Chain A
């Protein structure tokens, strides 16, 4: 027989005034299992909790506490009693103040209701089935997926906190989009000059293992103990032997466009994408390599192995940070701007490479025919703030400031140049952005409020013509320029969507990874132990990406700094003897926490939110939500409505 103790909090006399606790006590003592009904005038105060712990620990194995709002005290009471050796499953806290005493003026009615509620609680707790949860031993390492500025910052911060980090990057070098930029707004810092030191810091940090040319293939397990498979593509150069001397590129006869330079500049078939690459290890593009063997002869370290094969690396980590970034919108999807048809219509990413001293033109703003571009137009919101479905609906966050920065770069290089910015709404909300706007005005940059309808080609001059309506004056006009730069929005790429599938985390309508809660848990995914940083979960700038890298690192460290984790108690459990594998539960689970395993339903406890939708969907009654079993609830309901 269970020994149930009932504790009534009189709340300084408030509750006992509204409810006849004497009658409650007498009636409850007749309930099977109830051995004592005790009163205290303030169970929430330290002496009240001490009273609870002392009496309950010594006399009872099940406890019902009648007090105030569960949101105020339930966890405190359960923790206190846990310290006295009573499992949280065996403690039921009911709210007699807000749900009864405060809302019913008639003392007899309130007393009858209180008796019903407490009978229900006694019945429920009598059927409780406490589980011995096995603590999760924390794997003392983190996985960061994506080595852009967010992921790199995150890896550095976790590494500096003293934990091992695996930084997985699909490209040969970390650095991401920021490495491709010329300058950063609003401070006009040279991008690679401020990023480069961070990349090399990540490279030399003893706790960080960078795994380049690699993608995450599968993830199993849960917070504290994820098992991850990473597939490393063959690079045909042994990264252990290669010291980055570059003897191989001198002799390689094959050229390819460099993705880093948005295909505007050639690079050899054996290459490293840029001078500041980390790790500085060469790779071979086997698709175009003619296998002449020249590099093998030139390499004094015998690092080249043309028979390299894909490798799988197995990792055991306690926390995962997704920082896979986003990609620019494909401007071809806005055919009215004739990107790809008119030579001098370029994207802002191409512009960044053109204006950069290490880029294809050595930093000169040139047209495709080699002439200096003297008039340049920027077109904002290409593929963002699109209501017609051609791009994303969201504002892409970075592009107003980026175009203002780029406009100033043109004027800095050539004070005679004329620059126009065609904007929908100019958004300068960040720190120092307003000053950037003011300086643009001082520099003579012209802002025109318009989303141009099309770009035409002047066949004689071979220059683009921007066709627009100034929405402030209503004037329709055309403007012929040397070069038109499309400020394209950013959106998640296929690799991010694939990662979401592998991690079993949801994506939003646009395809960006989704936060557990946009405001209150902005860096957490719906799965415990998987965090988000940077543009993989929505457009943002460098500042925010860095902030989020650090933020996600602190969340990861809060897991890694523990040796063991308490697994969540209220999760769905499958009785495999009863389960027929019909998978109705999988369809009912809105969190994707249930999947078939060996023909039976299996719950991923790291993803289960404890709602119980699966339990009520199961025809076989094979699923039980811990602490909320059918048996408990049926008995609670029966006791609740029983006549006196």
Chain B
């Protein structure tokens, strides 16, 4: 099959992690399409659903590791929200694995490349999504 198309929502710190991967020239699948957001907590379910609807095979949300944040860890909020969203996606026939979360902090270039590569592999194993077909089967 062709490479899966994956939207990667990346918070500010994760963007730095992706930068680091770029500086070190660590390769990862080209189907990973970055969308910068100021903080993972901004991510509402409509953005994930829109990505699937418009042809993405998977979504990765890359956020700060809560243990790397001081007292306030908005990415915990994101984690909870994604868990709820995953269960809703299952209801419409979208496997939970298509929505992945990765904990990436500013220095973690190699980890960023590794995590998105692994996520892409897992998503590729599920085959293309085809959102409209999935919806019509409900």
The answer to whether A binds B is yes
A contacts, CB < 8 Å to B: 69-71, 95, 97-100, 102-106, 109-110, 112-113, 116-117, 120, 506, 508, 514, 517-518, 570, 588, 590-591, 610-613, 615-616, 625, 628, 630, 633-634, 636-638, 640-643
Contact A612 B22 (CB under 8 A): no
Give chain A nearest CB distance to B20 CB in angstroms.
Answer: 8
Q: Which residues of A contact B28 (CB under 8 A)?
A: 103
Residue B7 at the A interface, CB < 8 A?
yes
Contact B46 A613 (CB under 8 A): no
Q: Which residues of A contact B34 (CB under 8 A)?
A: 99, 117
B25 interface neighbour in A102, A106, A591, Cβ under 8 Å: A102
Residue B44 at the A interface, CB < 8 A?
yes
Q: Which residues of B contact A109 (CB under 8 A)?
A: 3, 30
Bound Cα distance from A62 to B9, whole angstroms: 23
Bound Cα distance from A588 to B78, whole angstroms: 11
A613 interface neighbour in B15, B16, B77, Cβ under 8 Å: B77
Contact A637 B7 (CB under 8 A): yes
Given pairs A104-B27, A610-B39, 15 additional interface contacts (CB within 8 A)? A99-B22, A103-B113, A109-B3, A113-B33, A117-B33, A117-B34, A508-B71, A518-B70, A588-B41, A591-B72, A616-B42, A628-B42, A630-B47, A641-B55, A643-B55
Bound Cα distance from A517 to B69, whole angstroms: 11
Q: Which residues of A contact B70 (CB under 8 A)?
A: 517-518
A633 interface neighbour in B16, B21, B25, B35, Cβ under 8 Å: B35
A105 interface neighbour in B7, B27, B51, B71, Cβ under 8 Å: B27
Contact A612 B56 (CB under 8 A): no
Contact string, B7-37, partner A, CB cutoff 8 A, digits 1/0?
Answer: 1000000011011111101111011011111
Contact B41 A616 (CB under 8 A): yes
Residue B89 at the A interface, CB < 8 A?
no
Contact B30 A611 (CB under 8 A): no
Given contacts A634-B46, A637-B54, contact A98 B18 (CB under 8 A): yes
Greatest chain B CB density within 10 A among A71, A106, A506, A637 is at: A637
Contact A616 B25 (CB under 8 A): no
Closest Cβ neighbor of A93 among chain B residues: B36
A99 interface neighbour in B18, B27, B31, Cβ under 8 Å: B18
Contact string, B73-85, partner A, CB cutoff 8 A, digits 1/0?
Answer: 1100100010000
Contact A634 B47 (CB under 8 A): yes
Contact A637 B42 (CB under 8 A): no
Residue B50 at the A interface, CB < 8 A?
yes
Contact B36 A611 (CB under 8 A): no
Q: Which residues of A contact B72 (CB under 8 A)?
A: 590-591
Give chain A nearest CB distance to B4 CB in angstroms.
Answer: 11
Give chain A nearest CB distance to B30 CB in angstroms.
Answer: 4
Q: How large is the interface on B (under 10, 10 to 19, 20 to 34, 35 or more residues)?
A: 35 or more
Contact B51 A613 (CB under 8 A): no
Closest Cβ neighbor of A639 among chain B residues: B54
A615 interface neighbour in B27, B42, B55, Cβ under 8 Å: B42
Given contacts A613-B39, A616-B42, A641-B7, contact A98 B21 (CB under 8 A): yes
**7 interchain residue pairs of minimum CB distance:** A98-B22, A612-B42, A613-B41, A611-B39, A109-B30, A616-B44, A102-B22
Q: Which residues of B contact A99 (CB under 8 A)?
A: 18-19, 22, 34
Q: Which residues of A contact B42 (CB under 8 A)?
A: 611-613, 615-616, 625, 628
Q: Which residues of B contact A590 (CB under 8 A)?
A: 41, 72-74, 77
Contact B35 A637 (CB under 8 A): yes
Q: Which residues of A contact B31 (CB under 8 A)?
A: 113
Closest Cβ neighbor of B3 among chain A residues: A109
Closest Cβ neighbor of A114 among chain B residues: B30
Q: In chain B, residues 95-114, which have Cβ atoms closer than 8 Å to a Cβ of chain A?
A: 113
B54 interface neighbour in A514, A611, A641, Cβ under 8 Å: A641
Q: Which residues of B contact A634 (CB under 8 A)?
A: 46-47, 50
Q: Which residues of B contact A637 (CB under 8 A)?
A: 7, 35, 47, 50-51, 54
Given contacts A612-B42, A616-B42, A630-B46, contact A640 B27 (CB under 8 A): no
B51 interface neighbour in A103, A570, A612, A641, Cβ under 8 Å: A641
What would be 13 A-B contacts, judged by CB atoms less than 8 Å apart?
A70-B36, A71-B19, A103-B26, A104-B27, A113-B33, A590-B74, A615-B42, A616-B41, A625-B42, A630-B46, A634-B47, A637-B47, A637-B51
Q: Which residues of A contact B81 (CB under 8 A)?
A: 616
Contact B71 A514 (CB under 8 A): yes
Give chain A nearest CB distance to B69 CB in angstroms.
Answer: 10
